[in-house]
Amino acid sequence: MTLENVSINKSFGGWHKQYSHHSDSLNCSMRFAIFLPPGASNDQRVPVLYWLSGLTCSDENFMHKAGAQRLAAELGIAIVAPDTSPRGDKVPDDESYDLGQGAGFYVNATQAPWHRHYRMYDYLVEELPALIEATFPVNERRAIAGHSMGGHGALMIGLRNPDRYRSMSAFSPISNPSLCPWGQKAFGAYLGSDSAAWHQYDASLLMRDAVNGPPALVDQGSSDPYLTEQLQPQALQAAAKASGYPLQLNLREGYDHSYYFIASFIDQHLKFHASHLQG
């Protein structure tokens, strides 16, 4: 597979790089960003935190706004930020911001016209990690995290693949997408009307039935405008209580849905992941 370097910047002694490549899963060209901490080499391979962003975002939002590189450099953790959907002139899209390009919801679509390209689950679980581990000085110790739609993706993927990830975390995740407007719109379009297909991508339902899985850290702002209608963290908390799942959910007073919130607590998330990625 051919990687094309898009940009490169030195950051806190390490390197932030963007690449594009053809994705077989998505049938289009995709872009991702990677931060490699100082000292990462074939003789010193480092663990990886995969970061999934939210609606309308790309690989750039987290890398530009979260301020994660300083501590990631100190902790010796690589960060990989993929795009949020397939893109391109031949990729189906929608006029609304919450469906189509920039709104892949990290599922494998089964419905036309989405099914040919919108297979973000396969891309993130199989194709992208294989590419990263074959190309860069990283090892197979993985963690996954995300924000909003990406928080849904991170928790769902972690819960469905407990042997692939050491830990998972989320900021303001769409916790119960089967029962909120964002999730119902996306799932209906991508997956059709079969509720069983929806449930395999719903973090609260997966956590309720989980018998094992990576420890989870979730931060939610109390002043988030989407808190009640779209995010529903109480569903995730109830699911963890029902199954005894190792979830730490923090309600942060006065914080909203923005990257100001993420930047305020990203260090705690990086330290949480580092504690599970060592050795």
**Which of 117, 257, 269, 273 is an active site residue?**
257
Q: Is 148 a catalytic residue?
A: yes
**Which of 148, 167, 169, 172 is an active site residue?**
148
- Is the torsion defined by CA of 88, 89, 91, 97 positive or negative? positive
Residue 194 one-letter amino acid: D
Q: Is 256 a catalytic residue?
A: no
| Beta bridge pairs of residue 36 | 15
Residue with tokens 């590419």: 131
Residues 200, 178: contact at Cβ < 8 Å? no
Q: Is 257 a catalytic residue?
A: yes
Contacts of 249 (CB under 8 A, 6+ apart): 218, 219, 220, 233, 236, 237, 240
Residue with tokens 């993130």: 124
CA 168 to mean position of chain CA atoms: 9
Q: Tell me how far apart the alpha carbons of residues 183 and 203 are, in angstroms, rounded to a whole number.
A: 11
Q: How, if at all, do strands 167-171 and 46-52 pair? A: unpaired
SS3 content of the chain, % helix, strand, coil (to 5): 35, 25, 40
The enclosing H or E element of 254 equals none
**Which of 83, 98, 202, 224 is an active site residue?**
224
Contacts of 55 (CB under 8 A, 6+ apart): 84, 97, 98, 102, 103, 148, 149, 182
Residues identified as active-site: 148, 224, 257
